[in-house]
Amino acid sequence: MSDLYAVFGNPVAHSKSPLIHTAFAAASGQDLTYQARLAPLDGFSRAVAEFVAAGGKGANVTVPFKEEAFRLCTRLSERAARAGAVNTLAFSGGEIFGDNTDGAGLVRDITDNLGLPLHGKRILLLGAGGAARGVIAPLLAEKPAALLIANRSAEKAALLASAFADLAPVESGSFGETEGQSFDVLINATAASLSGASLPLPAGVFAPACLAYDMMYGQGDTPFLRQAAAQGAAHLADGLGMLVEQAAEAFLVWRGQRPATANLLAELRAGPAA
């Protein structure tokens, strides 16, 4: 019988994780089955318990269960503890191990796939919710020259920055407070693109050779990426590469082997016919 994995979310039907992990398994000759499982909003832990009882070896967790998954774990990786959220679970002998591969996926997409080192760069992280929190420690591990968190609510940005202050200096402020500064890498971790909104960023935050990265992906350019292009940003990227790389990192956690990602990412970029 092949090893059983799943992604839990609500909604979950749109998830590309089954396709991605099935492709990784085929390419690396590993025998596993990967399903999308819809968990009721008030029934995540029960759904996980049923999955473990059915022999599930590991799972990914997506919206809105990442914080609940964090609380369910009996052991956490350092990066999951820092993120306060878990996107990868591994089950063995009654233990629930939780990891968070989102930040590693983002960093790998930027440094490897896009070929843009983060070391010594000035990074502006937009947003102060769970998505932003999950990527801060891995970004700091790349030793940027500066990391500033800007958010609609500056108080939330300040709280988040202080939670990571033991790792490196992290600045914070409102969008308006970035006036007069420019950044090499701007990462949109707000939910603004979901609602088609752009961010009130001062002109000049996009340094000419900068990378504008939207953690969202989907239908064409997001409002943030259109905004960045209009301000002359040299490199634009959506979150599809991060999605594939966080999955590769989860696959590594479960199977001890990192799958190649380039071909799959190219196929996904080519569209639904792939």
Which CB sits closer to ligand ATR, 8 or 254?
8
Instruction: Look at residue 28 and give its three-state secondary structure.
Output: helix
Tell me which residue has its CB nearest to ligand ATR. 129
Task: Indicate if the alpha-carbon torsion angle 23, 25, 26, 32 is positive or negative.
Answer: negative
Mark residue 120 as left, alpha or beta (left: phi above 0; alpha: psi -120 to 50; beta: remaining).
left
Is 66 one of the annotated active-site residues of the chain? yes
Nearest CA among 235, 238, 232 for reference residue 219: 238
| Nearest-angstrom CA–CA distance, 5 and 162 | 36
Which CB sits closer to ligand ATR, 3 or 67?
67
Give the shortest CB-239-to-ligand ATR separation in angstroms: 11
| Nearest-angstrom CA–CA distance, 174 and 153 | 6
Nearest CA among 44, 53, 48, 40 for reference residue 6: 48
Q: Which residues contact 2 (CB under 8 A, 6 or more apart)?
A: 31, 32, 33
Which CB sits closer to ligand ATR, 36 or 128?
128
Which CB sits closer to ligand ATR, 118 or 132?
132
Give the shortest CB-130-to-ligand ATR separation in angstroms: 3
The alpha carbons of the chain give a radius of gyration, in whole angstroms, of 18
Name the catalytic one among 66, 121, 143, 156: 66
Give the shortest CB-66-to-ligand ATR separation in angstroms: 8
The footprint of ligand ATR (CB under 6 A) covers 127-132, 151-153, 156, 190-192, 195, 197, 199
What number of other Cβ atoms are within 10 A of residue 50's Cβ? 13
Give the shortest CB-274-to-ligand ATR separation in angstroms: 27
Give the shortest CB-98-to-ligand ATR separation in angstroms: 17
| Nearest-angstrom CA–CA distance, 170 and 248 | 28
Q: Which residues contact 252 (CB under 8 A, 6 or more apart)?
A: 258, 259
Which CB sits closer to ligand ATR, 151 or 231?
151
Residues noted as catalytic: 66
